Amino acid sequence: MWQQNYEPVGGSLGLSAAVAAIPVLVLFFMLGVKRKPAWMAALTALAVAFVIALVAYHMPIKLAVTSTATGAAYGIFPIAWIVFASIMLYRLAVDTGKFEVIKDSVGGLTNDRRLQALFIAFSFGAFIEGAAGFGAPVAVSGAMLAGLGFSPFYAAGICLLANTAPVAFGSIGIPIVTLAGITGLPPMLLSAMVGRLCAMISVIIPAYLLIVMVGLGKTLEVLPAVIVCGFSFAGVQFYVSNYVGPDGTSRRTAIRGCQRFLLNTDKHSDFAHAYACVRCGGRS
């Protein structure tokens, strides 16, 4: 029975890791430098990985072919099927005009760009990540922000930063489920450990997001919103990932975060106005 050698290149872990990274670098090169279509870049990287598995890692060709087929099947049915359904739902909402209704409803909650970014990019984006994942949060949330007047490139960057917190449990927990299948470790154990790590990051992501957007001074004007978003998100993320499971962590966390945000929208705006007045020496 073939066993993987983690130091096949000269008995060096560093050199072996460098060789193993070549398919990833090829993928980035094809996408970013050569500007090739995603399917072409993916197939090129797959071919390179296949050759490296045979030549560097001395993987039996039958096992290499089987691994390739298994990976392709897993990518098509659990992953691509979720993405396809999400895109279909998004296109249905856009073509029927319902997406504009959703965008106007969310945008009508507040005119403050900082609060819009927190709600749409962070809270609502986390829900899209939990339900669909794989770029859908940036596409959907970014489109909503762009419709509210944000620069499209700027909106995409904001959504990418905000998506740091929920991505580990994206697409109905596929990353955790996949990791459990590969390692053989219990999914709940992995979910709990990842949830503990992500909860610490989730506390600071809203503040970091706004500091990048508008700077520290403007962020302090909406400090209650930052605290509510960060701690409510992190608390629910910790609880669900540790005691419920990975499949609903991002969705339940996002729903709770949206609820807390909506219940305090007026208070956030009032605090921002009052803090701005104080900074201006009492002038409204």
Give the separation between CA 201 and CA 157, rounded to whole angstroms. 18
Give the separation between CA 121 and CA 129, rounded to whole angstroms. 11
> What whole-number percentage of the chain has pLDDT above 90?
29
Mean predicted confidence (pLDDT) in 97-120 = 79
Least confident of 113-122, 211-220, 268-277: 268-277
Q: What are phi and psi of 248, to 5 degrees?
A: -115, 15
For residues 15-38, one letter each, b for 16 or more C-beta atoms within 10 angstroms of the residue's C-beta and e for the rest, the string is ebeebbeebeebbeebbeeeebee
Give the separation between CA 88 and CA 84, rounded to whole angstroms. 6
Label residue 9 left, alpha or beta by phi (over 0 means left) and psi (-120 to 50 means alpha): beta
108: exposed, middle or buried (Cβ count in 10 Å: 0-12, 13-18, 19+): exposed
Q: Is the model's pLDDT at 84 over the cut of 60?
A: yes
Least confident of 77-91, 104-118, 159-173: 77-91
The pLDDT, as a whole number, for residue 275 is: 45
CA-closest candidate to residue 198, choices 262, 125, 253, 257: 253
* Crossing angle between the packed helical segments 81-95 and 98-107, to the nearest 10 degrees: 80
Q: Is the model's pLDDT at 62 over the cut of 50?
A: yes
What number of helices (H) and strands (E) belong to the chain?
A: 16, 0
The pLDDT, as a whole number, for residue 279 is: 53
User: CA torsion sign, 208 to 176 to 232 to 105?
Assistant: positive
Per-residue pLDDT band at 282 (split at 50, 70, 90):
very low
The pLDDT, as a whole number, for residue 239 is: 93
Q: What are phi and psi of 6, to 5 degrees?
A: -85, -5
* C-alpha triplet 101, 102, 103: angle, nearest 5°: 90
pLDDT 10s digits, 142-177: 888 888 888 888 888 888 888 887 888 888 888 898
Least confident of 40-49, 206-215, 237-246, 264-273: 264-273
Mean predicted confidence (pLDDT) in 205-213 = 91
